């Protein structure tokens, strides 16, 4: 056991000492910090002095930041260098961290202290960040049931626990049902049309099971290519049916993993929980932490988008029908025909694949171009710097003001490798914080992707989709790094409403479609030449392919989720399937077969955090498109517009209401026109 003074997680410099952190440091550090935090909280609350921001909440905020600074590298190593020892240490710490958060919002003494401070005359003199922290805390106490009578509080706690079990069960059933289906194929001609990569995957699955030939599964890397490429219509229907009946009463093995009852229990409990806290329904409860302020506002938003995009979806489907009929397809397209013919039409129209663009996007050029964009937009400079990291491939950069002062720092870890989790994400390493002596703790971010690593003598080459991913995560990173808020709880992405937090990230994606920016980020790794006009035009045109069909599909999910959490009332016939049926009549253009049980696999809302929040995807997209439209109106690289975006949105973090910030930048509330225009769906 290391002595505390030799534990690198307890001796923070400006950056975590990644070269020195060992798994055996993790649990002792978290234990020491949590123990100290609990003791200090008790001491802070046990005083005769009237509580204030300075004497109580500020020290608490500082200690919690200390905990976060130790926890961040632990969680990060679990994500990017997950050895058995790291995983064990992480798993030992996780319940302790979660418990701390739960207990914090059930601490009545602490709650009273927040209320006293909020009601004191001194609170009027606090800055917007401090006031927002207090408001958020009072809201979170309330949402954790602190105002309930003792028996109701017990019930509330039971319901929460039950809900978390049910959500886990939902996910487990879905996983088991997904894994239970397999289709062994021995005749290769049945798989005609499948791309090499999909065939190789299916052959690999077969080999792993000691079989010859190919084995198809319902995992997305297998399911998607079969639906889009397999010429065999019966095979597509078979895999489609297996997929959309997963975890339902119509699923395999006599509905052994049927989620129906679990979904009903989840919806009933969510409704009860919300009503216990004084909300009309769960959708209202969900909005308590979001930018949208009423259920009717969300419904109108979704229906408005539906009204305006449905005609485009109908036209696209009509065109697809005609195309299919002219290419030996059925006269009426079934759900298992749509992806297949859509892919044929796409091939014919654009004659272009993501792979063709790879040579134009070598990582060093893309990074350089991305940093140039930041310079043009905000007058800030990015410089390569050195730091101890967790892997030799990781690069480190500092972000500077025009006068050279450092504003923040970030790690860039771009390549897939063993022991690193999949996907792309941004994480906070250190939050910006004004110390008591007035000095500044600088923010630090991690940017993580899973691109293919460079090979001998050749840089890593990205597809355009991957470039979008990198810009997206960098957008989150800039939100974290460019914050001007000095209090960690509402600095950067902290405290930002769920449906607004994707604004800076999606905003960055827009730039990847501009000719000028493409010239910075896209240069052939051998010839140094930018994309020629033909390739560029194809790339642009492919952006909006079937935009209408995709839009109404997302709206179907979002409306179903939102109405379900508003209207569910099985005793009155408002069942899950009845509501789904209505939503489909409202917005869908493709007929779903009667056996489709899509809700039984909708884990975003039944197992994840998107309950009554799936609309956030579209909501944030509207914000980012509308914000970007101002750049179009005033000149893409207009420095005044860039400065104002920096000042009004990026620097403000969660210290002010998201709508207020948007209005400060745009001069009005968001409108959906810009999004429709981006998608080629403007009237
Ligand atoms: Zn994101």
DSSP calls for 589-601? -SPPPTT--GGGG
Angle at 61 between CA 57 and CA 66, to 5 degrees: 150
For residue 504, the CA-to-ligand 1 centroid distance in Å is: 9
For residue 489, the CA-to-ligand 1 centroid distance in Å is: 19
For residue 501, the CA-to-ligand 1 centroid distance in Å is: 8
| Residue closest to 115 by CA, chosen among 132, 130, 100, 137 | 137
Do 628 and 507 contact (CB within 8 A), yes or no?
yes
| Residue closest to 41 by CA, chosen among 28, 58, 27, 26 | 58
Q: Which residues of the chain have pLDDT under 50?
A: none
CB-CB neighbours of 651 under 10 Å: 18
For residue 173, the CA-to-ligand 1 centroid distance in Å is: 28
For residue 502, the CA-to-ligand 1 centroid distance in Å is: 5
Tokens of 517: 């920016």
| Alpha carbons 526 and 83: distance in angstroms, whole number | 38
For residue 476, the CA-to-ligand 1 centroid distance in Å is: 7
Phi, psi of 276 (to 5 degrees): -60, -35
For residue 551, the CA-to-ligand 1 centroid distance in Å is: 19
For residue 346, the CA-to-ligand 1 centroid distance in Å is: 27
The gap between the terminal CA atoms of the chain, to the nearest Å, is 68
For residue 603, the CA-to-ligand 1 centroid distance in Å is: 18
For residue 431, the CA-to-ligand 1 centroid distance in Å is: 18
| Residue closest to 671 by CA, chosen among 635, 640, 643, 633 | 633
**According to the 3-state scheme, what is the secondary structure of 456-476?**
CCECCECCHHHHHHHHHHHHH
Query: Is 473 labeled as catalytic in the residue annotation?
Result: yes
Tokens of 196: 């090499």
One of 428, 466, 473, 621 is an active-site residue; which one?
Answer: 473
pLDDT digits (tens, 9 = 90+) for 125-150: 999 999 999 999 999 999 999 999 99
Looking at residue 221, its pLDDT comes to: 83
Residue 425, burial from CB neighbour count under 10 angstroms (0-12, 13-18, 19+): middle
**Inter-CA distances, 338 with 416, 424, 595, 603, Å:** 33, 29, 17, 23
| Residue closest to 547 by CA, chosen among 351, 224, 333, 316 | 316
| Alpha carbons 233 and 337: distance in angstroms, whole number | 7
For residue 206, the CA-to-ligand 1 centroid distance in Å is: 35
Do 23 and 88 contact (CB within 8 A), yes or no?
yes
Do 447 and 413 contact (CB within 8 A), yes or no?
yes
For residue 27, the CA-to-ligand 1 centroid distance in Å is: 30
For residue 467, the CA-to-ligand 1 centroid distance in Å is: 14
Q: Give alpha helix (H) positions in 249-353.
A: 252-255, 260-276, 282-287, 295-326, 338-350
- Note residues around ion ligand 1 (Cβ under 5 angstroms): 505
């Amino acid at each position: 056991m290391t002595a505390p003074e030799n534990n690198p997680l307890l001796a923070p410099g400006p950056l975590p000492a990644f070269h020195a952190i060992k798994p055996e440091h993790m649990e002792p550090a978290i234990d020491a910090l949590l123990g100290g935090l609990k003791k200090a909280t008790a001491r802070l609350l046990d005083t005769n002095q009237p509580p204030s921001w300075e004497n109580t909440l500020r020290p608490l905020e500082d200690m919690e930041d200390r905990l976060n600074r130790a926890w961040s590298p632990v969680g990060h190593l679990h994500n990017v260098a997950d050895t058995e020892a790291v995983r064990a240490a992480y798993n030992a710490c996780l319940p302790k961290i979660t418990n701390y958060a739960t207990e914090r919002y059930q601490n009545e003494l602490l709650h009273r202290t927040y209320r006293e401070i909020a009601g004191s005359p001194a609170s009027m003199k606090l800055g917007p960040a401090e006031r927002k922290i207090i408001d958020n805390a009072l809201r979170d106490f309330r949402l954790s049931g602190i105002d309930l009578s003792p028996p109701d509080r017990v019930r509330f706690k039971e319901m929460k626990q039950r809900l978390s079990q049910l959500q886990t069960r939902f996910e487990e059933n879905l996983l088991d049902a997904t894994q239970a289906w397999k289709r062994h194929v021995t005749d290769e001609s049945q798989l005609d049309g499948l791309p090499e990569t999909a065939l190789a995957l299916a052959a690999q699955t077969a080999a792993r099971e000691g079989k010859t030939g190919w084995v198809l599964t319902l995992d997305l890397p297998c399911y998607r290519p079969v639906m889009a490429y397999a010429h065999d219509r019966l095979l597509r229907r078979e895999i489609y049916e297996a997929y959309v009946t997963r975890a339902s009463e119509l699923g395999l093995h006599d509905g052994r993993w049927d989620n129906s009852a679990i979904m009903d229990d989840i919806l009933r409990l969510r409704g009860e929980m919300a009503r216990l806290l004084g909300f009309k329904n769960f959708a209202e409860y969900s909005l308590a932490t979001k930018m949208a302020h009423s259920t009717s506002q969300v419904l109108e938003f979704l229906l408005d988008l539906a009204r305006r995009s449905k005609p485009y979806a109908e036209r696209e489907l009509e065109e697809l029908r005609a195309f299919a009929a002219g290419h030996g397809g059925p006269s009426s397209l079934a759900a298992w025909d749509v992806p297949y013919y859509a892919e044929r039409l796409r091939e014919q129209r654009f004659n272009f694949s993501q792979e063709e663009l790879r040579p134009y996007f070598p990582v060093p050029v893309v990074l350089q171009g991305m940093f140039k964009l930041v310079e043009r937009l905000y007058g800030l400079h990015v410089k390569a710097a050195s730091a101890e990291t967790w892997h030799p491939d990781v690069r480190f950069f500092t972000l500077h003001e025009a006068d050279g002062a450092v504003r923040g720092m970030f790690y860039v870890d771009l390549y897939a490798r063993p022991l690193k989790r999949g996907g792309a994400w941004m994480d906070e390493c250190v939050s910006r914080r004004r110390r008591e002596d007035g000095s500044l703790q600088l923010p630090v971010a991690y940017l993580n992707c899973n691109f293919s690593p460079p090979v001998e003598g050749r840089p890593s080459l990205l597809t355009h989709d991957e470039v979008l991913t990198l810009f997206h995560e960098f957008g989150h990173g800039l939100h974290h790094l460019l914050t001007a808020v000095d209090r960690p709880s509402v600095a950067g992405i902290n405290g930002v409403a769920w449906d607004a937090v994707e604004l800076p990230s999606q905003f960055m994606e827009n730039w990847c479609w501009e000719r000028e920016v493409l010239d910075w980020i896209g240069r052939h790794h051998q010839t140094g030449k930018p994309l020629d006009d033909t390739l560029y035009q194809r790339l642009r045109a492919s952006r909006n392919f079937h935009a209408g069909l995709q839009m109404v599909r997302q709206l179907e999910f979002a409306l179903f989720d939102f109405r379900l959490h508003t209207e569910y009332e099985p005793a009155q016939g408002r069942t899950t399937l009845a509501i789904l049926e209505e939503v489909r009549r409202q917005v869908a253009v493709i007929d779903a077969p009667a056996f489709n049980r899509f809700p039984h696999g909708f884990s975003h809302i039944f197992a994840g955090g998107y309950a009554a929040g799936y609309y956030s995807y579209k909501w944030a997209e509207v914000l980012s498109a509308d914000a970007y439209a101002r750049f179009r109106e005033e000149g893409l690289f207009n420095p005044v517009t860039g400065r104002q975006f920096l000042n009004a949105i990026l620097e403000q973090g969660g210290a002010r209401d998201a709508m207020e910030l948007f209005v400060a930048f745009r001069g009005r509330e968001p409108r959906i026109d810009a999004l429709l225009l981006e998608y080629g769906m403007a009237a």
